[in-house]
Structure 1
Amino acid sequence: MIIGMGNDLTNMDRIANSLERWGEKFEKRCFTDIERAKADKRPFTRVGTFAKRWAAKEAFAKAIGTGFSRGVFHKDIGVVNKPSGAPTLYLTGGAADRLAEMVPEGHEAAIHLTLTDDHPWAQAFVIIEALPKGSR
Structure 2
Amino acid sequence: MFDQAPTGIAGIGTDLIRIARIEQALARHGQRFVQRILGEQEQVIYARRSQRDPQRGVRYVAMRFAAKEAFSKAIGLGMRMPMAWSRMQTLNAPSGRPMVVLSGDLKTWYEARYGEALISLTDETDMAMAFVIVQARSAT
Q: Same fold (TM over 0.5)?
A: yes
Name the counterpart of 1:13: 20
Consecutive unaligned residues of structure 2, counting only runs of 5 or more, are 1-7
CA-based RMSD: 1.7
For 1:105-124, list aligned pairs within 5 A: 109-124=115-130
> 33, 39, 46: which is aligned to 1:39?
46
The answer as to whether partners of 1:72 and 1:93 remain within 8 angstroms in 2 is: no
Aligned residue for 1:89? 100
In structure 2, what is the equivalent of residue 106 of structure 1?
none
Q: Which amino acid is 1:80 matched to?
A: L
Separation (CA, whole Å) in 1 of partners of 2:19 and 2:124: 9
Cα distance in 2 for residues equivalent to 1:39 and 1:30: 11
Q: How high is the TM-score relative to the length of structure 2?
A: 0.84
- Structure 1 residue runs of 4+, over 6 Å off? none
Q: In structure 2, what is the Cα distance between the partners aligned to 1:133 and 1:40?
A: 41
State the number of aligned residues: 129
CA distance, structure 1, for counterparts of residue 116 and residue 93 of structure 2:
13
Cα-to-partner distance string for 1:43-99 (whole Å, 9 max, x where unaligned): 241111110000000000000001011331101111111121100111113432332
Shift of 1:21: 0.6
Matching residue's letter, 2:39: T
Q: How does 1:9-88 map to 2 (within 5 A)?
A: 9-42=16-49, 43=53, 44-88=55-99
1:120 deviates by: 0.9
| Identical counterparts, % of pairs | 34
Contact 2:40 2:86 in 1 (8 A): no
Determine if contact 1:73/1:94 at 8 Å carries over to the other structure: no
Distance in 2 of aligned mates of 1:73 and 1:119 = 28
TM-score, normalization by structure 1? 0.87
